[in-house]
Amino acid sequence: MTQKKLAVASQSRAFAYGFAVVVTTLTLLARLGFSPWVNSRPLLVVFFLPILFSAYVGGLGPGLVATFITAISTEYYLMPPTHSFSFAKPMDFIQWLFLVAAGVVASILNEALHRARRRANSNQSLYAVTLASIGDAVITTDAQGRVTFLNGEAEHLTGWTNADAAGKSLPTVFRIVNEETRITVEDPVEKVFRTNGVVGLANHTVLIARDGREFIIDDSGAPIRGADETIIGVVLVFRDNTGKKRAEDSLRRSERFLQNTGHIAMVGGWEFDVHTGKQTWTEAVYDIHEVDLSYEPTVEKGVRFYTPASRPVVERAVKTAIERGKSFDVELEIVTAKGNLRWVKAIGKPDPERRRIFGYLSGHCRSRRID
């Protein structure tokens, strides 16, 4: 705790104790001032009010101080015989004792209330700090869908400050549309209440910030439940995926371009695991061998595509690559799954660290049908 917080806490405690002394003293003076009208009746019940107020303001300590002052002053000034610490009647003592006991109980109960309030404030502060420190953007709302909190990343992405967004409806702050159709996406708060569980945004969701900036995001919304399991709010967690989405789109375009180019040029990539013998082919290699994509390639199956005269050459090239780590570049003839003879150029390069060999296969135009 910082020195400033310690000073504030100390001032608050001093005020609470001062309040207990002052309010109890004023009650006693007021009661003594009304003595001509109330005769000899002590009216002890009125002294429970300053005790209760003191305990409510400061908790156990101020409540007990008010109880102590009340006990001493009422017994000395109001209980007959006055100005003495004795009781004329047993009933007077019982009334006085009941007041003291009630003051102690009220002080204890109010202290429990103060502790519960301090724990709640501490937990709330902890939650706020935790949410503020999360790298993802976080927005919380109440049960009516009004914004109650934005962390720093949410402020950056939405363009709204936490103070400006407080009390606003979520769609005002969190404006989301479909990237392609520009149609407004369903309010996540309404979706959470409708499904009564955790929800996620659809793909291609764009967040439009207050200043017009746009971010491709993904998010999840979850209900905030009270002690009775009713939904009292919603928390949204989302992140900016604009860069990732653009990179993925670019990669997909590149892959489509390479696939299309490979189909046209009859050039495909391949790789096989030295340990398992399993191969991985691109679509163009499947086309060269004239097999469909359900075919599961292996080294043994791949070698069998070559003609009897070509097999020893490719087997020797693969063996040398595995044992000596030497690349190969051969031009041989294969028989496709549909019985066509085709010349191919096979180039392979070993990767000793990964125990794999990778390369590409080029299908030449010179091909003929086996009769």
Question: What pLDDT sits at residue 330?
Answer: 87
Question: What pLDDT sits at residue 211?
Answer: 92
- Domain residue limits, the chain: 3-131, 135-240, 248-369
Q: In which band, very low, low, confident or very high, does the pLDDT at 175 lie, cut at 50, 70 and 90?
A: very high
Convert the pLDDT of each residue in 318-366 to its tens digit. Answer: 888 888 888 888 888 889 988 888 888 888 888 877 678 877 677 764 5
Amino acid at 214: E
pTM tops 0.85, yes or no: no
Is the Cβ–Cβ distance between 139 and 147 less than 8 Å? yes
Strands of the chain, DSSP E? 137-142, 147-150, 175-178, 199-200, 205-208, 214-225, 231-240, 267-273, 279-281, 328-335, 340-351, 356-369
Question: What pLDDT sits at residue 366?
Answer: 52
Average per-residue pLDDT in the chain?
82
Question: What pLDDT sits at residue 212?
Answer: 92
Q: Poorest-confidence range of 36-40, 128-132, 202-206, 329-333? A: 128-132
pLDDT over threshold 60, residue 155: yes
Q: Poorest-confidence range of 267-271, 275-279, 364-368? A: 364-368
- Separation CA 336–CA 305 (nearest Å): 6
Average pLDDT over residues 241-263: 64
> Under CATH, domain 248-369 is a member of which superfamily?
PAS domain (3.30.450.20)
pLDDT over threshold 70, residue 43: yes
- Separation CA 66–CA 92 (nearest Å): 20
Average pLDDT over residues 311-322: 88
Q: What is the 3-state secondary structure (H, E, C) of 143-174?
A: CCCEEEEECHHHHHHHCCCHHHHCCCEHHHHC
Convert the pLDDT of each residue in 109-137 to its tens digit. Answer: 988 888 888 776 666 655 666 555 566 89
pLDDT over threshold 60, residue 63: yes
pLDDT over threshold 50, residue 167: yes
Report the topology of domain 135-240: Beta-Lactamase (3.30.450)
Question: What pLDDT sits at residue 92?
Answer: 82
pLDDT over threshold 50, residue 229: yes
Q: Poorest-confidence range of 159-173, 198-212, 351-365? A: 351-365
pLDDT over threshold 90, residue 280: no
135-240 and 248-369 in the same fold: yes
Convert the pLDDT of each residue in 7-33 to its tens digit. Answer: 666 678 888 899 999 999 998 888 888
- Separation CA 346–CA 316 (nearest Å): 13
Q: Which residue has the tokens 């990179």?
A: 247
